């Protein structure tokens, strides 16, 4: 049974800092790894999708890496801004139809 | 244009009632899902439909009955609501055949059972 853990549970940083969010999963037989952002009272916005054959994906100030063998993924946010404040969720995609296993999330607060 | 839309956004009801949540996607995807986010913000899959066919039923009580009239719609009907059903229900869709591609989520339907 896949289990996904995110560390830290919460993070508060000053604006401008570079930061790393960690995600680990117990079953390395994943199809993909997806990072989402959730704002309070809102749905999930897909940030990055890494297929199992890939090592990393980049979008703007975001970079996500995937190491299947060690069961880890990291989300790197460069030059953080107050608008980045949200909950960040990682989810491991299994071999079943769309069965994502989610971590519990990292609550990020970027203060001016 | 909203890609994945759910209605209603908020639903407050009494125990024992029956309620439905509707979901529609205009992305042309072939797979749709229902996920549940509990009070601890933990997201878990409930159902997955591919081309109107039920693919995943993740040990959900049979009081929950999904229905997919076509590829673009997936509704969730809940009978005999219980206090523990209070949660945010998210609809999602993807396009990747039988494998999980990138999922796109709706804004959620917050169900409160009193």
Nearest to B100 among A44, A46, A97 (CB): A97
B84 vs A84: CA distance, rounded Å: 32
Name the residue among A40, A39, A76 with its Cα closest to residue A61. A76
Mean pLDDT of B26-45: 90
Q: Quick check: B96 pLDDT over 70?
A: no
CB neighbours of residue A112 within 10 Å: 7
Classify the C-alpha dihedral A34-B4-A39-A63 as positive or negative. positive
Q: Quick check: A95 pLDDT over 90?
A: no
| Residue A43 Cα, gap to closest chain B Cα (Å) | 4
Nearest to B98 among A32, A46, A97 (CB): A97
> Where would I find the beta strands (DSSP E) of B14-86?
19-25, 31-37, 43-50, 53-57, 64-70, 73-78
Find residue A22's DSSP bridge partners: A7, A74
Are residues B100 and A99, on separate chains, in Cβ contact within 8 Å? yes
Q: Quick check: B106 pLDDT over 90?
A: yes
Per-residue pLDDT tens for B60-85? 899 999 999 998 999 999 999 999 99
| A104 contacts chain B (CB < 8 A) | yes
Cβ neighbours for B32, distance < 8 A, ≥ 6 positions apart: B23, B25, B48, B49, B68, B71, B73, B74, B91, B92, B93
pLDDT at residue number A97: 64
pLDDT at residue number B52: 81
Q: Quick check: B98 pLDDT over 60?
A: no
Q: Residue B110's closest chain A neighbor by CA?
A: A41
Per-residue pLDDT tens for B47-59? 888 888 888 888 7
Mean pLDDT of B92-99: 74
pLDDT at residue number B59: 77
pLDDT at residue number A4: 96
* C-beta pairs of B39-43 under 8 Å, 24+ apart in sequence: B39/B86, B39/B87, B40/A104, B41/A87, B41/A104, B41/A105, B42/A102, B42/A104, B43/A44, B43/A89, B43/A91, B43/A100, B43/A102, B43/B90
| Residue B105 Cα, gap to closest chain A Cα (Å) | 6
DSSP letter at B83?
G
| Structure tokens belonging to residue B10 | 């908020």
Mean pLDDT value across chain B: 90
């Amino acid at each position: 049974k896949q289990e996904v853990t995110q560390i830290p549970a919460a993070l508060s940083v000053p604006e401008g800092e570079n930061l790393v969010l960690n995600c680990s999963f117990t079953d390395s037989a994943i199809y993909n790894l997806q990072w989402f952002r959730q704002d309070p009272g809102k749905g999930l916005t897909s940030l990055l999708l890494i297929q199992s054959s890939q090592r990393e994906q980049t979008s703007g100030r975001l970079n996500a890496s995937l190491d299947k063998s060690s069961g880890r993924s990291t989300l790197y946010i460069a030059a953080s801004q107050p608008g980045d404040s949200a909950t960040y969720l990682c989810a491991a995609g299994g071999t079943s139809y769309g069965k994502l296993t989610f971590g519990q999330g990292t609550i990020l607060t970027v203060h001016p | 244009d909203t890609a994945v839309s759910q209605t209603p956004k908020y639903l407050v009801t009494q125990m024992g009632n029956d309620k439905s949540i509707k979901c529609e996607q205009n992305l042309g995807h072939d797979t749709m899902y229902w996920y549940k986010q509990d009070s601890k913000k933990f997201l878990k899959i409930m159902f997955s439909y591919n081309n109107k066919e039920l693919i995943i039923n993740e040990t959900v009580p049979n009081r929950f009955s999904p229905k997919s009239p076509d590829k673009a719609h997936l509704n969730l009907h809940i009978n005999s609501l219980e206090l523990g059903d209070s949660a945010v229900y998210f609809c999602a869709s993807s396009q990747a055949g039988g494998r999980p591609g990138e999922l796109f989520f709706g804004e959620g339907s917050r169900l409160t059972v009193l």
